[in-house]
Amino acid sequence: MRHLIAAGWRFLRENEALRQAFCPRHIGAGATSLAIHATVIGSVIWFSAPVLRLGVGAVAAAAKRPTSQLLMFAPHASAGSASARNERPPERPLMQASKESGPVKEGVKMEPGEAALTFPGFTFDVEKLVNRGTALFPFLTRTITFNVEKPPEKRTAPLLNPFSLQPALEMKSTPLVLTDAEVQRLVDEAWARRERWKPFQHIRALADQHDPDIGQLPALLRGHVNQNALQPYVDTKMRDPRMWTQLALVADHEYFIDFIADYVSRHPGTKASIELLFLLDVLAQSSLDTLSLFLEIEPDRDLKWTRAVNPAAFRQIVQLRDYYDMQRRQRGLDSHRALGRHYDQIRVRILTTILQTSPGGYRVNDARYLLGELHWRRDRFAEAKRMWGEMRVDPQGVYAEASTAVLLAMGAAKGREQAAAPVPAAARGSSWQSPETKNLQIEVKAINTILEDEYQRWVAFYRTRLQKFGYALDAF
């Protein structure tokens, strides 16, 4: 070793260029650089000391740490995390629902024999309906607005120290960790044929506690909307049970609207908020169906059973019907078609808000399908086709089968249009139809069939689901 060192120094003395490279100035600069790097490395080690000093014990503690605590790290690093949004809510709420309808008549009491309406196998709380009489149709009596100017910007994820436990301490909402079977169990527990608000409270509590993007919360809300919210009813020989049941359902709509407005304003642009906006759309459809039925009935003709069983309840429902008939006339909604347009405008705003605030295109195809269907059923074919033309095939979508079939039908119509040969004027008779008209008729018939097939799938699904809980389409 001594010989090697001596040879090295001899080589250095004989090499002038190499000796100048190792001048004191270069040596000093190198020492300074080494000191700076050593300081940085030492700082990292010092601030990570709570983890590093644990050594092997940290690994053992991590093995014993509950799964929920370990899962806290993931959502903290996600862009636009829920905790960040909660700390910095939007300047204006995303959704607002005013209170023009006036105060609910809380505290109205009825006589013991009048507070309930009993049919064979059916009991209805008349007093509850009377108490909430002015709040049954908030989509009619309240103004629902959406303060959407542009899609919310995603915030850049913060730079994290992977050795620190601090992210777990800063997390404000954890992901909802459930298996698919557990999600389905919760959806089934929230199912109800009549009143929906009370069974929804467990899901509501989970929504308030857990991350709106990461975990199973969006799937849980989607399951509730698709399997529990909008159920088919078939009239029996008398209309009374269906009328009272649907009134009981819409009596809870104001609670749902207030919850949804609060949630989507606190968590704008999240998957959970998108699912709740789909729930709001379902509520609007249910409200229109019930209000139309309510205004069409003739109490003396259609509610004979109610009048015979509970005359006081009959008088109350007549007063309520007169009240909402006055409300819609004050708003210029004298006809069923005008009332339908009013609700269409609300649904368009809801579904458009989904398109504008969806994170990463989450469920935008389902919203476009519903918007197209809404326009199509009102004979606004061009507007429907424009909206459907923006859809993309999404196997995970709720309306994947129907939307794919619509796109194929529209593509086939376009192909026939391009292949059609011009028809000479001499060949046109009195019953002649242009190729464009024939093509449109074929397309309309095909799309009508697709929409009807989708409706029948929904009815078949709910017939099976109702049977699971001991009900039928005409059982309430």
Q: DSSP characters for 295-311?
A: HH--HHHH-HHHHHH-H
Largest CA distance in the chain: 123
Identify whether the C-beta of residue 134 lies closer than 8 Å to the C-beta of residue 104: yes
| Termini Cα distance of the chain | 98
Residue type, 37: H
Are 249 and 385 found together in one domain? no
17 falls within a domain: no
What pLDDT score was predicted for residue 44?
A: 43
E strands, 147-257, are 174-176, 210-215
- Among 334, 359, 384, the domain-final residue is 359
Q: Are residues 172 and 316 in the same domain?
A: yes
Q: Which domain holds residue 273?
A: 65-152+166-359
Convert 444-474 to b/e letters by CB count within 10 Å (16 or more is b).
Answer: eebbeebbeebeeeeeeebeeebeeeebeee
Are 312 and 416 found together in one domain?
A: no
Are 19 and 12 within 8 A, CB to CB?
yes
Instruction: Give me 85's structure tokens.
Output: 């949004």
Half-sphere exposure of 238 (CA within 13 A, CB side): 16
Q: Do 412 and 296 have their domain in common? A: no
Q: How many residues in total does the chain contain?
A: 476
Residues 379 and 476 in one domain: yes
Using only the alpha carbons of the chain, give its radius of gyration. 33
The answer to whether residues 182 and 52 belong to one domain is: no
Residue 333 in any domain: the answer is: yes
pLDDT of amino acid 109:
64
- Note whether 448 and 329 are same-domain residues: no
**Which residue, 8, 34, 64, sits at the end of a domain?**
64
Query: Which pLDDT does position 146 carry in this prediction?
Result: 92
- Which of 315, 318, 254 shows the shortest CA–CA distance to 286? 254
Tell me how many degrees the CA angle 223-261-75 measures, rounded to the nearest 5.
60
Cα–Cα distance, 123 to 244 (Å, whole number) = 10
Same-domain check for residues 312 and 290 = yes
Q: What is the pLDDT of residue 345?
A: 96
Q: Are residues 59 and 74 both part of a single domain?
A: no
Asked whether residue 1 is assigned to any structural domain, the reply reads no
Instruction: Answer yes or no: do 34 and 72 share one domain.
Output: no
Asked if residue 410 belongs to a domain, the reply is: yes
Q: Find all residues with CB under 8 Å of 13, minimum gap 6, and list them.
A: 19
Alpha-carbon gap, residue 262 to 219, rounded angstroms: 20
Q: Which residue among 312, 342, 359 closes a domain?
A: 359
d(CA 191, CA 185): 10
For the record, the structure tokens of 282 come out as 């379902």
Domain count, the chain: 3
Rounded to two decimals, what is the model's pTM? 0.76
Helices 271-296, 364-377: crossing angle, 10 deg rounding? 20
The answer to whether residues 218 and 275 touch, using CB atoms and an 8 Å cutoff, is yes
Report the run of H or E that residue 445 belongs to, with start and end: helix 435-468
Question: Is residue 403 a contact partner of residue 365, using CB atoms and an 8 Å limit?
Answer: yes
Output the six-digit token pair for 346. 């609300």
Residue numbers of the chain with a pLDDT score lower than 70:
1-91, 100-110, 149-172, 421, 423-433
On whether both 352 and 415 belong to a single domain, the answer is no
Residue 161 lies in a domain: no
Please indicate, yes or no, if residue 20 is contained in any of the structural domains: no
Provide the b/e sequence for 374-394 (b: ≥16 CB within 10 Å).
bbbeeeeeeebbebbeebeeb
Cβ atoms < 10 Å from Cβ of 223: 20
Say if 121 falls within a structural domain.
Answer: yes
197 found inside a domain: yes
- For residue 315, the model assigns a pLDDT of 92
Residue type, 457: R
Strand, coil or helix: what is 190?
Answer: coil
CB 357, CB 212: distance < 8 Å? no
Tell me the pLDDT tens digit for each residue of 323-373.
Answer: 999 999 999 999 999 999 999 999 999 999 999 999 999 999 999 999 999
Q: What per-residue confidence (pLDDT) applies to 114? A: 82
User: Are the C-beta atoms of 409 and 443 separated by less than 8 Å?
Assistant: yes
How far is it, in rounded angstroms, from Cα 467 to Cα 456?
A: 17
Helices 217-224 and 271-296, interaxial angle, to 10°? 10
| Residue 346 and residue 441 in one domain | no
User: How many helices and strands (H and E) does the chain possess?
Assistant: 25, 6
